[in-house]
Amino acid sequence: MKQETNDSGRLTLPGDRSLRQGLLDLIGRRRFPCVGAKSALAKGGLRIETAACLTSSQDDARIHDRLARWSRAWRKDADGLRSIAFVFAGPRTLDETGFEAALWERINALTAIDTGRGYPRASGYSEDPRSPDFALSFGGQAYFAVGLHPRASRRARRSPSPTIVFNLHDQFSQLRMAGQYERMRAVILARDTAFDGRPNPMIARHGETSEARQYSGREVGEDWQCPFTSPGDRR
């Protein structure tokens, strides 16, 4: 089996291409609702990385390296819509509860690495997952995560392989200042309803309720408790 080396020095296998292609095929579907993802893909703003296993820590350090690098690149050139996605080879059999647990396990591990490496928290955002101003922070920049997996109940979240997409908050702040955010949001919500057949009950604006409730894509109730461990709780 032919092996290649990517620009991080990690060995990659031909199967990595199929992992990437699965996400590209989902976003490329004509009716896929997220026009932000479509725009990022069309303009070269979508980076797709592959990893071995969502329930394993083996790729955590490399994933954090990529996130920190993504944050530095944004500070040098803060323009356009960008997303960095990590597609995992497995497991593909997790139900929504299992996927949610694995997603937060990776987020907690990445946050611990970020703190351990001395990066500051993104300013203007809370580390309390109960706060309406909550956001993840990697490399000093604020992010929110979008989880996708094969057994997601909503079609827009149903990808061939477990995937975590990280989006920079600042890019959406730019859209708000330009008066474009609400229009884009309305288009996405309408397309999502048409794609799935019913509105997404978990969608809310940042600042209305904690965005953490939306990360996994699972519909959760008011009694849901976020499994995030904030940096302050680790001290």
Read off the pLDDT of residues 140-187 as tens digits, 9 standing for 90 and up.
999 999 999 999 999 999 999 999 999 999 888 887 788 887 888 889
Residue 57 has pLDDT above 70, yes or no: yes
Cα–Cα distance measured from residue 213 to residue 202, given in angstroms and rounded to the nearest whole number: 7
What mean pLDDT is predicted for residues 120-148? 95
Give the model confidence (pLDDT) of 84-94 as tens digits: 999 999 999 99
CA–CA separation, 182 and 188 (whole Å) = 10
Nearest CA to 36 out of 189, 194, 208, 147 is that of 189
Residue 4 has pLDDT above 50, yes or no: no
Q: Which residue has the higher pLDDT, 119 or 8?
A: 119
In angstroms, the Cα distances linking 210 to 62, 78, 146 are 28, 25, 14
- Residue indicated by tokens 């794609």: 195
Strands (E), 41-184: 46-53, 83-90, 136-138, 141-148, 163-168
pLDDT in tens, 28-48: 999 999 998 999 999 999 999
CB–CB of 72/109 below 8 Å? no
CA atoms of 199 and 154, how far apart (whole Å): 10
Q: Is the pLDDT of residue 207 over 80?
A: no
The candidate with the shortest Cα–Cα distance to 215, out of 149, 127, 120, is 149
Distance, in Å, from the CA atom of 214 to the CA atom of 195, rounded to the nearest integer, reads 18
**Predicted local confidence at residue 129, as pLDDT:** 95
Question: pTM of this prediction?
Answer: 0.90
C-alpha torsion 127→220→187→122, nearest 10: 10
Three-class secondary structure of residue 166 per DSSP: strand
Between strands 4-5 and 163-168, the pairing is unpaired
Hey, where are the domains in the chain? 12-224
* pLDDT confidence of residue 15: 66
Tallying the residues shown for the chain, one arrives at: 235
